[in-house]
Structure 1
Amino acid sequence: MHNSLVAALDIGGTKIAGALVDGNGAILHRAQRPTPAHDDGETVMRAVENVLAELAASPLWVRATALGIGSAGPVDASAGTVSPVNVPGWRGFPLVERVSHAIGRHLPITLVGDGVAMTAAEHWQGAARGYDNALCMVVSTGVGGGLVLGGKPHAGPTGNAGHIGHISVDLDGDLCPCGGRGCVERIASGPNIARRALENGWRPGPGGDTSAAAVAEAARAGDPVATASYERAAQALAAGIAATATLVEIEIAVVGGGVAGAGDVLFGPLRRALRDYATLSFVQRLTVAPAVTGTDAGLVGAAAAATLGQGEAAVPAGRG
């Protein structure tokens, strides 16, 4: 149907956002609540229900033909459950089933991880548009990602494929909270960039800002410790990107998230480091580009995933 819309939910540790999205990726109506991340699972679900109720109150709601959910992970699209690391009240939480009950009408529901959602958005509307094989990543408080293979987002059986943050790039590196060692995330995420700069003697300005953005500002002003911390992050990202390219032959790596806001402080050393790691003939032409879909990537990507029916999570029989 030409005038049909897709409902989308973007669920993270900070906010739960909802939208009605048209066939061009434009958001026609939106709703948002803060995530009560430290409360019990039912309280978090109530926030989701409030967002859905606000969407359903729009006269456009009747045009929605599918619903896409992008959630912080891990997710299990095959079971319809989510266990976001930063929402401890949700462990194996039956989100698809609960959303299905909450909307009170039958809509096909698609669940994907937030990295896959961002990837779907960048492939549909952003920097990966026109590429059949791509890696898209979000570098912020964590490092997530997703893959486009053969022209379609590739979510994998549970919706977590492309989770580049937990590729090990330092065999004897620090223990990662995931249980692995030397993961990309443990080196390249914003908090780890800031931690490493502080440990090596960088000191924040008079405002006391110790964020990765403050480290980037110091690097831009020529601070060698701040610069070295970003170079180390860039090296970890380059190793992970090159490993991915070698494995599945991607043509472009798109980098978004707060840390990508550092601009050349990150992308300069990242492109240099890629030349060291992506050396085989079939990965040498790999392009790196900043993401362009911004803060709406989760919503636009959830809508794109629903349109494609990627990793469709069926509601258990007799419960829908």
Structure 2
Amino acid sequence: MTQNELVAALDIGGTKIAGALVDSAGRILVRAQRPTPAREDGDTVMRAVEQVLGELTGSSLWSRVRAVGIGSAGPVDASRGTVSPVNIPGWRGYPLVDRVRGLSGRLPVELIGDGVAITAAEHWQGAAQGYDNALCMVVSTGVGGGLVLGGKLHPGPTGNAGHIGHISVDLDGDPCPCGGRGCVERIASGPNIARRALEQGWQPGPDGDTTTAAVAAAARAGDPVALASFERAAQALAASIAATASLVEIEIAVIGGGVAKAGDVLFTPLRRTLRDYATLSFVQNLTVTPAMTGTDAGLVGAAAAALGSGTRMKAGAPA
């Protein structure tokens, strides 16, 4: 890929559909965004994607675009080019890659899950840069993730590898909407942290705010029930990170998403508890750190996937 060539990136989630034109250094040159009509039928959702792509293709820079990367809420199936996001019911086995390829002038299209996209972003420009083996996690409304192994993004055959949120860490735990039981997501996601705090008797303030951010604020103020809910989430995350490290020998675990914004309320018990699970000699030095790429991570990661699908990035990026 020459310095003048660009890629297009799409970040598709239950709240918004974002698009961008991105250069080989990861700079976003053009942006477009629409709300996701997540409760509408599949064609209506696709029209929002078409509007975003329409803004991008209408840019004077579009002639320099050589590939398209898509990071989508999952599950995705990169082998088939389809998506079935849990939070977009109108898309089940939806042929997103074919649709985007047709709208983009038959450019190459690379599809990955949103957790893998954020992993690509963190490895390219964030906290995992310079590490050959990494786990990157998003802890928010759900819990997702992705892997870098041997210095390269490892999306797996369908683009879902590293989906750590649905590892079971409690064999007798609560049923998870995925069909499993005791999943990390059922314990450590934002809504479940708040749910558990409320069930255990936590009382919100006068404003009635029951969000995870409010629970985090209460925990920082020393509320024992709020602290216990974050401790439980940290324990689930630690167990899953240690299991992953034991399996594939990661060197670093990067954690982003809304729950990670709780800061020390999450990371202090997480690092402490990790010592109880990561006991083997080859995982004892595992680093746990917050993500760095912020709200543009999905777009940057989708761009990284497009760049890595047959083009070359600048030094420091996954090939």
Give the aligned partner of residue 294 of structure 2.
Answer: 294
Q: CA deviation at 1:2?
A: 1.7
Give the aligned partner of residue 303 of structure 2.
Answer: 303
Give the aligned partner of residue 20 of structure 1.
Answer: 21
The code of the aligned residue for 1:208 comes to G
d(CA) in 2 for partners of 1:97, 1:21: 21
d(CA) in 2 for partners of 1:207, 1:42: 40
Q: CA deviation at 1:24?
A: 1.0
Q: CA deviation at 1:106?
A: 2.4
Whether the 8 Å contact between 2:120 and 2:305 is mirrored in structure 1 is yes
Give the aligned partner of residue 66 of structure 2.
Answer: 65
Report the 3-state secondary structure (helix = DSSP H, G, I; strand = E; otherwise coil) of the residue aligned with 1:280: coil
d(CA) in 2 for partners of 1:24, 1:212: 35
Q: CA deviation at 1:220?
A: 0.1
d(CA) in 1 for partners of 2:235, 2:309: 35
Q: CA deviation at 1:102?
A: 1.6
After superposition, give the CA deviation of every residue in 1:162-182 in whole Å (9 maximum; x if it has no partner).
Answer: 000000000100000001010
Q: CA RMSD in A?
A: 0.7
The code of the aligned residue for 2:160 comes to N
Give the aligned partner of residue 94 of structure 1.
Answer: 95
After superposition, give the CA deviation of every residue in 1:3-53 in whole Å (9 maximum; x if it has no partner).
Answer: 111100000000000000111111000000000000000000000000000
Mapped pair 1:272 → 2:272: yes
Give the aligned partner of residue 8 of structure 2.
Answer: 7
Mapped pair 1:261 → 2:267: no
The code of the aligned residue for 1:221 comes to A
Give the aligned partner of residue 313 of structure 2.
Answer: none
d(CA) in 2 for partners of 1:309, 1:244: 26
The code of the aligned residue for 2:109 comes to I
Give the aligned partner of residue 158 of structure 1.
Answer: 158
The code of the aligned residue for 1:241 comes to I
Q: CA deviation at 1:183?
A: 0.3
Q: CA deviation at 1:239?
A: 0.2
The code of the aligned residue for 2:24 comes to G
Report the 3-state secondary structure (helix = DSSP H, G, I; strand = E; otherwise coil) of the residue aligned with 1:281: coil
d(CA) in 2 for partners of 1:74, 1:207: 37
Give the aligned partner of residue 316 of structure 1.
Answer: none
Give the aligned partner of residue 236 of structure 2.
Answer: 236
Residue pairs, 1:49-128, within 5 angstroms: 49-103=50-104, 105-128=105-128
Report the 3-state secondary structure (helix = DSSP H, G, I; strand = E; otherwise coil) of the residue aligned with 1:285: coil
Give the aligned partner of residue 224 of structure 2.
Answer: 224
After superposition, give the CA deviation of every residue in 1:165-216 in whole Å (9 maximum; x if it has no partner).
Answer: 0000001000000010100000000000000000000011111111111000
Aligned length: 309
Residue pairs, 1:134-213, within 5 angstroms: 134-213=134-213
d(CA) in 2 for partners of 1:2, 1:101: 26
d(CA) in 1 for partners of 2:299, 2:161: 19
After superposition, give the CA deviation of every residue in 1:81-135 in whole Å (9 maximum; x if it has no partner).
Answer: 00000000000000000111122x1211000000000000000000000000000
Q: CA deviation at 1:309?
A: 1.3
Whether the 8 Å contact between 2:3 and 2:23 is mirrored in structure 1 is no
d(CA) in 2 for partners of 1:62, 1:138: 34
d(CA) in 2 for partners of 1:205, 1:242: 36
d(CA) in 2 for partners of 1:275, 1:92: 41
Q: Which moved more, 1:201-210 or 1:237-246?
A: 201-210
The code of the aligned residue for 1:170 comes to D
| Greater than 4 Å deviation, 4+ residue runs | none
Report the 3-state secondary structure (helix = DSSP H, G, I; strand = E; otherwise coil) of the residue aligned with 1:283: coil
Report the 3-state secondary structure (helix = DSSP H, G, I; strand = E; otherwise coil) of the residue aligned with 1:254: strand
d(CA) in 2 for partners of 1:209, 1:85: 26
The code of the aligned residue for 1:128 comes to A
Give the aligned partner of residue 314 of structure 2.
Answer: none
Give the aligned partner of residue 317 of structure 1.
Answer: none
